[in-house]
Amino acid sequence: MGQSLSQLYVHLTFSTKDRNPDIKEIWELKLHTCISSVFKRFESPVLTINSVSDHVHILFALSKDYALSTLVDAVKKESAEWIRCIGHTNKDFDWQDGYGAFSVSHFQIDVVTRFIQNQKKHHHNKSYKEEVDEIMEQFGVIEYDESYFWN
């Protein structure tokens, strides 16, 4: 019998719609739990997750059985529904349409984990847009078109 194996680590990031500061610190840990549960259901365990008021970063191991876009769509849809249900001020919450997903070498997991865990400190000096621009440059993403990504 054949065996299919994969070891694909992904650094995923996406923002709130229009980068509005809609993620509230008081419930962000519950949001992380909600997001992690979707990943678990898709057999793609989260290694670390963190957020600030306008975006989320997630490092996870992508299952060989699911497409990245299918997983991201489910995570954004279910977490947005959860946020809309936790209070009347959140009823219009939404995520941006796009996302950034970057492959991570097994040897870089600790580096990316620290980067994600230090998001709050990191964003005292840098905006999410500045951060994404740097990531795009670092990964050599030539298809990056701001007019489509930032919606």
pLDDT tens digit string along 74-120? 999 999 999 999 977 788 999 999 999 999 999 999 999 999 999 88
Helix (H) or strand (E) holding 50: strand 46-52
SS3 for 2?
coil
Q: Within the chain, how many helices (H) and strands (E) appear?
A: 6, 4
pLDDT tens-digit profile of 114-150?
999 998 887 888 888 888 888 888 888 878 777 767 6
Model pLDDT, residue 143: 80
Measured over the CA atoms of residue 45, residue 47, residue 52 and residue 56, the dihedral's sign is negative
- Cβ proximity of 123 and 114 under 8 Å: no
Provide the token pair at 83. Answer: 């946020």
Provide the token pair at 131. Answer: 């951060």
In the block, tokens 């670390």 appear at: 48
CA-CA distance, 65 to 34, in Å (whole number)?
21
pLDDT tens-digit profile of 49-64?
999 999 999 999 999 9
pLDDT tens-digit profile of 3-44?
888 899 999 999 999 999 999 999 999 999 999 999 999 999
CATH number, span 8-149: 3.30.70.1290
Q: In what order do the strands lie in the sheet with 100-104?
A: 46-52, 55-62, 8-15, 100-104
Number of other CB atoms surrounding residue 105 within 10 Å? 9
In the block, tokens 């349409």 appear at: 97
Domain ranges of the chain: 8-149
